[in-house]
Amino acid sequence: MSTTEAPRRRRRGGRAGQGSWWAGAPGLVFLIALVLAPLVIIVIYSFLNRAKLGVGVKWTFTVQPYVELFYSESLSGEKSFDPVYLQILLNSALYSLVTALVCLALSVPIAIWIATRPARWRTALVFLVTIPFWTSLLIRTYAWVIILNDNGPINGALTGVGLLQQPIPMLYTPFATTVGLVYSFLPFMILPIYASAERFDFRLAEAAYDLGATRLTVLWRIVMPAIRPGVIAGLILVFIPALGSYLAPELLGGGKTSMIANVIAAQFGASRNWPLGAALSVMVLVITMLVLVAFAVVTRRSSRDGNRQQLESFL
Amino acid sequence: MARWKNGRMPRLALVIGFTSMMALAACGGETTMGGGASSEAPASSAEAPAASESAEAPAPAADFPTPNGGELNLYNWTDYISPELIERFESETGITVNLDNYDSNETLLAKLQAGGANYDVIVPSDYMVAQMIELGLLQEVDPASFPNGQYIKPEFLDVYFDDGRKYTAPYMYGTTGIAYDPTKTGGEVTSWAEFFDPASPAAGKIGTLNDQVEVIHAALRAVGSQPCSPNKEDYVKVEELLKNWKPGVAVINSDGVIGRMASGEQIMHMMWNGAFTRAQADNPNLEYVYPAEGINLWQDNFAVPNGAQNVDNAKIFINWMMDPKNIGEATNFVGYDNGITGSAEFMTPELGANPAVVIPEEFKALAQPTPGCPVEVIDLYDQVWTNFKK
Amino acid sequence: MSAESALSIREVTKTFPTPEGGEVRALDSVSLEVADGSFTVLLGPSGCGKTTLLRCIAGLESPDSGEIDLKGQRIDDVPVWKRRVNTVFQSYALFPHMTVAQNIAFGLEMDKLPKAQIQQKVGAALEMVRLSDLGARRPSQLSGGQQQRVALARALAKEPEVLLLDEPLSALDLKLRRGMQMELKRLQRETSITFVLVTHDQDEAMSMGDLVAVFDSGRIVQVGPPREVYLSPRTRFVADFIGEANLLEGAAAGGRIDIPGFGDVADEAMSAGSAPPQDGPVIVAVRPENVVLRPDPTGNGTIVDATFIGGDLHVEVAVGDTLLSVRQGGPGSEALAVGALVRVGFAPGSARIVEP
């Protein structure tokens, strides 16, 4: 076979409507430049020494940043295992998990409600869900500062009608952080669940009622399995970015409890330890990937129908 | 260290503050937006002809450049110079100013080190100037020899980070002290030890800046040590102090301090003096403390980085800003005092007479600039801070 | 039909809002008695209300007014999941994430039966529809006919008082449909469960129902055994909808029924013992197979078209302006060539006066 023939053969063999390999090249370059390259830089930085004054890196290899992840020289001078970063990461994961679950509990009824509206309403409602994206997250988080304030509308209303003697401190608490996180990520849960729910054949729900199922049973045994791809996508879309949240703990949590992103940001700022910041990022990256793999394994094990393919293609 | 230099939140936050005020004014929500110090500049250019002409008139150095149009790339802290002042500079000199903003010295340093950013004038703080000189990032333009170099206050001339002002010209300075409401704490606060006291009557309503350098500087002073202490035992004490103190801390946040103090949400807060004056305008009960152990004084400075494309214009700008009238107006906008002699007469009376802005004579010894800590010490700060905030 | 009523539907009315803001009356004071153990067919064109009635019985819709009794117990205010009525849906509505066996077990689990009993009933149901070896499959792995039988098994496993079937065979091809019709009849006989089937296919209705209720625009216009409905359509609509009919307009006067071109057809149109029609315009329906053609050069009709289909000769004959469909079997039909003149008449007692 001569080499000049090869492309012709390929073209003949290609299916109609299938673009050539080169058609994907711009996208691929884009992906590499914008996704892969920064990751590679972070991984490289995590194996370098600090620059002279701590801002930037020195191009000599070291694993010190990874040692610092787990060991610290105590103030009395001895090196010992120090789980502080792991604790903060675990704490972040807990916040993210709670956020994901609260978002889930809120999104399922909302998404199903939207999916059961007449078609012309659905478009408008989905549009409404995306409205928060019109303004920056910073502004929206500040808005919660105002809402949750001791002198804010919630406390104002509760004290105003006499339900409370004194305002409940809500701002600068873990509660406020969670509220902020749930608020930020709710659309990321609603939209994929809605996408699944919209495809759901509600005649199946009727069939289940007909067979004697109550509302709750229908929701749990018929609707939930059908919207599972959306639920899983939503959980991933909420949990992972929530893990990297910076604003909510900073502005709403009052800065008293760090999440891992705050610690990483500090390393690139006042703490002047870029390699440690990079190593922390790599740790988050690895754990995120482990979570994704765990999700994939769990769903593969428990689902053997077509839904799986959807999820796999998503992952 | 990130701070909103004029004690305000950045513009974005101002927008929210404004809209939220519109929506929630009745609810007494966060109302920390900046208002009008900037609009209260007393002197028009017509009233101070001598000062504004001084940029060209005396011309002692024959080789000092004269304005010849062109551009100036200014890299400054967010909201740290009056737009009207920039406009006036542009109309007086014909130089077009391109303004870019940063929010921390570290951001500034990282950007300069990365290279490729062609800034002509930057505004690093004291310790950052020292590090930039050490890293060879600044041009030795000798601002002291500029026509208006004569106005540099004597105590701002031979500073630890730039002896004789070979590299930099002074801009604003300020302090990071304690603000509190004596009518609510029920007693006087005079020291960092009282600020960090877990048994403080303000416990539960204490706020602090979300700034590891400032907080640990102050905590070191409270345990009887000094900022950047090389002794690890000091940090053991600081860690213990902060751990016991944390339960009484309501918020660790550098944003919205003014609103929280003005509304009485917090009754004691680590605070920058510029922010304090704004909070005090709403809540006259507030007092600013120069703690007995010492207080961190920071100075910001104009400098010309290596790689600047318009060095002449940079010199013209720095010289123009050292004009007492011009910098006096700059002070009126940001609410901090500056390092230029004779600027006081161009400042609003309220600012000029406020002990939080202009350091009273008896506290001048307490307020000293603090050199940046070495990297090993920064690691200790980071460790203490991470544990404090976990 | 002598047995007690399994279902008793009295004056049920149901309206739906239209998108334009108006109202559509899907059921207009519908009453029907369904005998226990019968196979009742609700027949009508689409949009006539038959499916709405089925959904009202199932509990998926609630009537605006009227009453539905199941074995003497009022059920129209009982929630759907508590009614001892089950439905085979037109779309089958099998749960795609469950196996065939799980689909069938679902309804039994809702009754909180013991596991062993569920297993036994699932097995029996699968056997009943001859799918015993497919219990572990997913619905997506089955053919349309198999899915249909799973839907049946799922509903029958619940042993309902009444089984509702909503156009269950419409998605199957003709051959499969015939087979399933027989299968449904067999299942109904074997289980003696009351079946109520909705269809728009009159052949299906005729071949399966013990009783056929014909729907027209939200009303039941005729109820009766298929033969009776076919032979004695009450209205022009029924005559036209069920089978083929020649509808001839004429006038009744003094016991005569005159149809232009035919003369008096009172003898042919009047069944024994029925009262003569009131004077005035009438419509007479005649089935094509009841039209009698005799070659006659002085006849009143002309053959327009003649085609052999199957064993029958399908003839179009013109009488004046009227065109009649005629089906002729047996000998003599070869004489009916196109253009031939014929005498057109009706078999005795075969014509029916129908309401307009």
Distance from CA of A107 to the nearest CA of B (A): 28
Is A258–B386 a contact, with Cβ atoms under 8 angstroms apart? Answer: yes
Is A91–B390 a contact, with Cβ atoms under 8 angstroms apart? Answer: yes
Q: Is C58 on the interface with A (CB under 8 A)?
A: yes
Q: Would you say residue A48 lies in a domain?
A: no
The pLDDT-based confidence of B42 (bands split at 50, 70, 90) is very low
Is B390–A84 a contact, with Cβ atoms under 8 angstroms apart? Answer: yes
Looking at A295-309, B129-143, B220-234, which range is the least confident one?
Answer: A295-309
Beta carbons within 10 angstroms of residue A193's beta carbon: 29
Number of domains in chain A: 2
Reported residue count of chain B is 390
Chain B residue with the nearest C-alpha to that of A157:
B27
Domain identity same for A181 and A307: yes
pLDDT recorded at residue C275: 64
Mean pLDDT across the stretch C131-152? 93
Strands (E), chain B: 71-77, 96-102, 121-122, 158-159, 162-163, 168-180, 206-208, 249-252, 268-272, 287-289, 295-303, 337-338, 367-369
* Residue given tokens 């605070």 in the structure block: B271
pLDDT recorded at residue C215: 94
Sorted by sequence, the CB contacts under 8 Å of residue B239 that are 6+ apart come out as: A75, B384, B387, B388
Domain identity same for A305 and A191: yes
Q: Would you say residue A306 lies in a domain?
A: yes
Alpha carbon dihedral C71, C72, C74, C78, in 10-degree steps, equals -30
Beta carbons within 10 angstroms of residue A106's beta carbon: 14
C162-201 pLDDT, tens digit per residue, is 999 999 988 888 888 888 899 999 999 999 999 999 999 9
Pairing mode, strands C263-264 and C341-346: unpaired
Which amino acid would we find at residue C320? G
What is the token pair recorded at A49?
Answer: 């020494």
Chain A residue with the nearest C-alpha to that of B230:
A75
Domain identity same for A207 and A266: yes
Domain identity same for A159 and A290: yes
CA distances in angstroms from C179 to C94, C167, C168, listed in the order given: 21, 15, 13
d(CA A305, CA A228): 11
Q: Tell me the residue range of the domain where A2 lies.
A: 1-43
The pLDDT-based confidence of C274 (bands split at 50, 70, 90) is low
Domain identity same for A90 and A39: no
Q: Would you say residue A74 lies in a domain?
A: no
Contact by Cβ (8 Å): A91, A99: no
Sorted by sequence, the CB contacts under 8 Å of residue B71 that are 6+ apart come out as: B95, B96, B97, B98, B310, B313
Contact by Cβ (8 Å): C349, C266: no
pLDDT recorded at residue A272: 86
d(CA A258, CA A242): 13
DSSP string, B293-333: T-EEEEEEEEE-BTT-S-HHHHHHHHHHHTSHHHHHHHHHH
SS3 B272: strand
Which of B24, B232, B378 is facing A153, going by the closest CB pair? B24
Looking at A113-122, B24-33, C307-316, which range is the least confident one?
Answer: B24-33
Distance from CA of A84 to the nearest CA of B (A): 7
Largest CA distance in chain B: 63
Contact by Cβ (8 Å): C31, C11: yes
Chain A interface, Cβ < 8 Å to C: 201, 203-204, 206-214, 217, 221-222, 225-226, 303, 305-307
pLDDT recorded at residue A302: 61
Interface contacts A/C by beta carbons within 8 Å: 64
SS3 B158: strand
Which of A207, A214, A225 is facing C97, going by the closest CB pair? A225
A76-90, B45-59, B119-133, B247-261: which is most confident: B119-133
Which of C86, C91, C138 is facing A210, going by the closest CB pair? C86
Is A305–C96 a contact, with Cβ atoms under 8 angstroms apart? Answer: yes
Q: Would you say residue A64 lies in a domain?
A: no
Chain C residue with the nearest C-alpha to that of A304:
C97
d(CA C106, CA A214): 12
Looking at A18-32, B13-27, B198-212, C88-102, which range is the least confident one?
Answer: B13-27
Q: Would you say residue A164 lies in a domain?
A: yes
- Mind listing the pLDDT tens digit of every residue in chain A (315 residues)? 444 444 444 444 445 556 667 777 888 888 888 888 899 999 999 999 988 777 788 899 999 999 989 988 776 667 888 889 999 999 999 999 999 999 999 999 999 999 989 888 999 999 999 998 888 998 999 899 889 988 888 888 888 888 888 888 888 889 999 999 999 999 999 999 999 999 999 899 999 999 999 999 999 999 999 998 899 999 999 999 999 999 899 889 888 888 999 999 889 888 889 999 999 999 999 988 988 898 888 777 665 544 444 444 444
Touching B: A residues 237-276, CB under 8 Å = 250-251, 254-258, 262-263, 266-273
Domain identity same for A234 and A170: yes
Annotate chain C with three-state secondary structure: CCCCEEEEEEEEEEEEECCCCCEEEEEEEEEEEEECCCEEEEECCCCCCHHHHHHHHHCCCCCCEEEEEECCEECCCCCHHHCCEEEECCCCCCCCCCCHHHHHHHHHHHCCCCHHHHHHHHHHHHHHCCCHHHCCCCHHHCCHHHHHHHHHHHHHCCCCCEEEEECCCCCCCHHHHHHHHHHHHHHHHHHCCEEEEEECCHHHHHHHCCEEEEEECCEEEEEECHHHHHHCCCEHHHHHHCCCCEEEEEEEECCEEEECCCEECHHHHCCCCCCCCCCEEEEEEECHHHEEEEECCCCCEEEEEEEEECCEEEEEEEECCEEEEEEECCCCHHHCCCCCEEEEEECCCCCEEEEC
Q: Would you say residue A229 lies in a domain?
A: yes
What is the token pair recorded at A257?
Answer: 């409890």
SS3 B111: helix
CA distances in angstroms from B137 to B128, B131, B306, listed in the order given: 11, 9, 6
Domain identity same for A218 and A288: yes
- How far, in whole angstroms, is CA A2 from its chain's centroid? 50
Domain identity same for A220 and A98: yes
The DSSP output letter for B373 is P
pLDDT recorded at residue B40: 36
- What domains does chain C contain, in order, with CATH numbers? 5-231 (3.40.50.300), 244-354 (2.40.50.140)
d(CA A25, CA A133): 30
Domain identity same for A208 and A284: yes
- How far, in whole angstroms, is CA A214 from its chain's centroid? 34
What percent of chain B has pLDDT above 90? 59
Mean pLDDT across the stretch B275-298? 92
Contact by Cβ (8 Å): C10, C43: no
Contact by Cβ (8 Å): A312, A296: yes
Could you give phi then psi for residue A210, rounded to 5 degrees? -60, -30
pLDDT recorded at residue C256: 84
Is C91–A226 a contact, with Cβ atoms under 8 angstroms apart? Answer: no
ipTM: 0.84
SS3 B152: strand
Chain B residue with the nearest C-alpha to that of A91:
B390
Sorted by sequence, the CB contacts under 8 Å of residue C318 that are 6+ apart come out as: C301, C302, C304, C324
Touching A: C residues 102-161, CB under 8 Å = 106-107, 110-111, 138, 140, 154-155, 158
d(CA B185, CA B205): 10
Is B235–A257 a contact, with Cβ atoms under 8 angstroms apart? Answer: no
d(CA C105, CA C114): 11
Q: For residue C293, which of C322, C314, C320, C266 has the smallest C-alpha distance?
A: C314
Q: Would you say residue A56 lies in a domain?
A: no
The pLDDT-based confidence of B103 (bands split at 50, 70, 90) is confident
Q: Would you say residue A287 lies in a domain?
A: yes
C95 has a pLDDT exceeding 80: yes
Mean pLDDT across the stretch B355-382? 89
pLDDT recorded at residue B167: 96
A186-233 pLDDT, tens digit per residue, is 999 999 999 999 999 989 999 999 999 999 999 999 999 999 889 999
Pairing mode, strands B268-272 and B206-208: parallel
Mean pLDDT of chain B: 84
Domain identity same for A37 and A139: no
CA torsion through residues C194, C197, C202, C208, sign: negative
Which of C93, C96, C110 is facing A212, going by the closest CB pair? C110
The DSSP output letter for B340 is B
Pairing mode, strands C65-70 and C162-166: unpaired
d(CA C28, CA C216): 10
Looking at A73-77, B40-44, C224-228, which range is the least confident one?
Answer: B40-44
Looking at A278-292, B153-167, C264-278, which range is the least confident one?
Answer: C264-278
The pLDDT-based confidence of C331 (bands split at 50, 70, 90) is low
Domain identity same for A224 and A93: yes
What percent of chain C has pLDDT above 70? 95
d(CA C356, CA C347): 22
B172-195 pLDDT, tens digit per residue, is 999 999 999 999 988 899 999 999
Is B29–A153 a contact, with Cβ atoms under 8 angstroms apart? Answer: yes
CATH of the domain at A123: 1.10.3720.10
Is C86–A211 a contact, with Cβ atoms under 8 angstroms apart? Answer: yes
Beta carbons within 10 angstroms of residue C11's beta carbon: 13
Domain identity same for A146 and A252: yes
B211-224 pLDDT, tens digit per residue, is 889 999 999 999 99
Look at B11 and B203; give whichever has higher pLDDT.
B203
pLDDT recorded at residue B110: 86
Mean pLDDT across the stretch B115-139? 91
Reported residue count of chain A is 315
Mean pLDDT of chain C: 89
Is A75–B253 a contact, with Cβ atoms under 8 angstroms apart? Answer: no
Reported residue count of chain C is 356
B54 has a pLDDT exceeding 50: no
Q: For residue A187, which of A140, A225, A223, A238 has the smallest C-alpha distance?
A: A238
Annotate chain A with three-state secondary structure: CCCCHHHHHHHHHCCCCCCCHHHHHHHHHHHHHHHHHHHHHHHHHCCEEECCCCCCEEEEECCHHHHHHHEEECCCCCEEECCHHHHHHHHHHHHHHHHHHHHHHHHHHHHHHHHCCCHHHHHHHHHHHHHHHHCCHHHHHHHHHHHHCCCCHHHHHHHHCCCCCCCCCCCCCHHHHHHHHHHHHHHHHHHHHHHHHHHCCHHHHHHHHHCCCCHHHHHHHHHHHHCHHHHHHHHHHHHHHHHCCCHHHHHHCCCCCCCHHHHHHHHHCCCCCHHHHHHHHHHHHHHHHHHHHHHHHHHHHHCCCCHHHHHHHHC
